[in-house]
Structure 1
Amino acid sequence: MAAKHNFRKLTIWRDGIGLVKETYKTTKIFPKSETYVLSNQMQRCSISIPSNIAEGMSKSTTKHFLQYLENALGSAFEWETQLVIAFEVGYISESTFNHLENKIQSIQKMVTRFMESIEDH
């Protein structure tokens, strides 16, 4: 049952928090014109990942918990798309892009595996 777990102990939640911090650090260098556009959207998506994991832990059924994990996964893919855009328009370097792409893909894989392990029980 999802509610029996402490979300703060989950690696995916902690990695999600790390992504939020890196997102804020990265978007600080974006042009001011992006403050309410790409910067804000990337920040909101990154926040959504650990937030959905945490909120899902409070749900009393596996079905509801899985819905929140799906939302977290969706936000992770949305964030990755925004990362590609930030790179393509020249807001971040290739090394920053590669580092963050590896991070988000790791989170996506962890969420997917976590969902699969829950569905198997």
Structure 2
Amino acid sequence: MKAKFKFENLMVWQKAMDLGDDILFLSEKFPAKENFNLSSQSCRAADSIALNISEGSIGQSNPEQKRFIGSAIRSLAEVVTCLHKAKRRNYIAVDEFNCHYKQAFSLMNKLIAYKNSIK
């Protein structure tokens, strides 16, 4: 499989894919009562990051591409809030929170740099 979509080569997309998987696995630790609340919201927000990056990279003008990256950034902020809620509700340990928070912070910096690089 040699052909690739442009976004598949983007480090921010690859990191967003990793975060989406990590949040999915993390949310499986939440209690069943959160299946349709915090678990679902965490996963949808995390998946939205990569989805917006890919959608913005296909045939979009630069302002449109920046808008999609902005949406990815807002989804990432939502993921961070979900992490805080999970920690406050004692669904995840502090070290798990710190690990995922660091991952999210790194991705946020990469997304902002990528958005700023779009002319």
Which range, TM-score by smaller chain?
A: over 0.9
* Structure 2: unaligned runs, 5 residues or longer: none
- Aligned AA (1:16): A
Q: Give the structure 1 partner of residue 47 of structure 2.
A: 47
Normalised by the length of structure 2, the TM-score is: 0.94
Q: Give the structure 2 partner of residue 10 of structure 1.
A: 10
- Aligned AA (1:46): A
Q: Give the structure 2 partner of residue 112 of structure 1.
A: 112
- Aligned AA (2:54): A
Equivalent runs, 1:31-110 vs 2, <5 Å: 31-110=31-110
* Structure 1: unaligned runs, 5 residues or longer: none
Among all aligned residue pairs of Structure 1 and Structure 2, give the percentage whose two residues are the same amino acid: 26
Report the CA distance between 1:60 and its aligned residue: 2.8
Cα RMSD, aligned residues only: 1.0
CA offset digits 1:79-104 (Å, max 9, x no partner): 10110110011000011000000000
**What is the distance in 1 between the residues matched to 2:28 and 2:60?**
39
CA offset digits 1:17-58 (Å, max 9, x no partner): 101111111011100000000000000000000000000001
- Would you identify which runs of 4 or more consecutive aligned residues in structure 1 move more than 6 Å? none
- Aligned AA (2:102): N
Q: Give the structure 1 partner of residue 19 of structure 2.
A: 19
**What is the distance in 1 between the residues matched to 2:47 and 2:30?**
18
**What is the distance in 1 between the residues matched to 2:108 and 2:96?**
18
- Aligned AA (1:81): T
User: How many residues were matched structurally?
Assistant: 115
